[in-house]
């Protein structure tokens, strides 16, 4: 039975009341689908809506994550959120290194490495995002860029279980553009990531889930999720519509069996 994680990144959308409505609808869809234990569902609201989402999905099996965290658990860091705070709010996962964080907030691989280590130390599961820009792809640098992001970002990471870490491959040129990598393009990079994870993490690297994070939607979910090294999706726009998100979960359930 294949394992999948279907994760929704709500970005800077949903006030707490809106998060309650959306999370409740997703939880209802989840209970109707009754996915096998090998298919996990995760939603990642903005910080201010985490509590509302946690309350809304209680008892449904839907997990809640955060979109980022700081490198320290306390201190004079105005506006930042500590990993301990994320964990205490009811989250199981945290997204680290999303391309928008790299692009708009100049986050480096070295900084993201500190965030990953801090999250792991707190018992959170980091979803570490890697991927190339359009220019880098045109210059045939995709594999080199992804390898560098993995080697630097996972420095000194030691896992007791493959379930402690998730990788998300997000071709930057396919985020929010309506474009998507073909299933073959996705598989090519996922396979390369799998090889790098084995080098970096050893045996656990062979089992670590690798999500596809570039405009995954119901129309392309089956073709992409069926690829052997694709272990789910980090979904943006489609996760803000309960029907679209549920359709992707349903496809993962079908493929998992």
Give the integer Cα–Cα distance in Å for 111 and 227.
Answer: 31
Among 93, 170, 204, 242, the active-site one is: 170
Q: Collapsing DSSP states into helix, strand and coil, what is residue 44? A: strand
Active-site residue 199, yes or no? no
Active-site residue 98, yes or no? yes
- Residue 151 corresponds to which tokens in the numbers above? 């080697």
Compute the C-alpha angle 100/7/192, nearest 5°.
70
Give the integer Cα–Cα distance in Å for 62 and 5.
Answer: 11
Is the torsion defined by CA of 150, 165, 244, 222 positive or negative? positive
Q: Specify the DSSP element, H or E, that contains 192.
A: helix 183-201
Q: Collapsing DSSP states into helix, strand and coil, what is residue 31? A: helix
- Residue 36 corresponds to which tokens in the numbers above? 């096998």
Is the torsion defined by CA of 223, 225, 230, 236 positive or negative? positive
Under 8 Å between Cβ of 69 and 83: yes
Q: Closest Cα to residue 7, out of 77, 93, 81?
A: 93
Beta bridge partners of 169: 130, 212
Residues that are catalytic: 98, 170
């Amino acid at each position: 039975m294949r394992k999948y994680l279907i994760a929704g990144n709500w970005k800077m959308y949903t006030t707490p009341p809106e998060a309650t409505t959306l999370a409740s609808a997703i939880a209802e869809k989840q209970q109707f689908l009754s996915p096998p234990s090998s298919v996990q569902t995760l939603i990642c609201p903005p910080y201010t809506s985490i509590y509302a989402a946690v309350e809304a999905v209680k008892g449904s099996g839907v997990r809640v994550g955060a979109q980022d965290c700081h490198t320290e658990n306390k201190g004079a860091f105005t506006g930042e959120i500590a990993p301990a705070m994320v964990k205490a709010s009811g989250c199981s996962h945290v997204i680290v290194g999303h391309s928008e964080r790299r692009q708009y907030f100049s986050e480096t691989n070295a900084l993201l490495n500190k965030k990953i280590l801090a999250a792991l130390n707190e018992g959170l599961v980091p979803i570490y995002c890697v991927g190339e820009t359009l220019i880098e792809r045109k210059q045939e640098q995709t594999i080199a860029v992804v390898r560098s992001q993995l080697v630097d970002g996972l420095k000194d990471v030691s896992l007791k279980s493959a379930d402690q870490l998730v990788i998300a491959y997000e071709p930057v040129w396919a985020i929010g553009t309506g474009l998507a990598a073909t299933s073959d393009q996705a598989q090519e990079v996922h396979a390369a990531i799998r090889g790098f994870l084995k080098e970096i993490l050893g045996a656990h690297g062979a089992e670590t889930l690798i999500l596809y994070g570039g405009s995954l939607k119901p129309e392309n979910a089956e073709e992409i999720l069926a690829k052997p090294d694709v272990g789910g999706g980090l979904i943006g726009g489609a996760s803000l519509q309960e029907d679209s998100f549920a359709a992707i979960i349903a496809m993962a359930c079908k493929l998992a069996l």
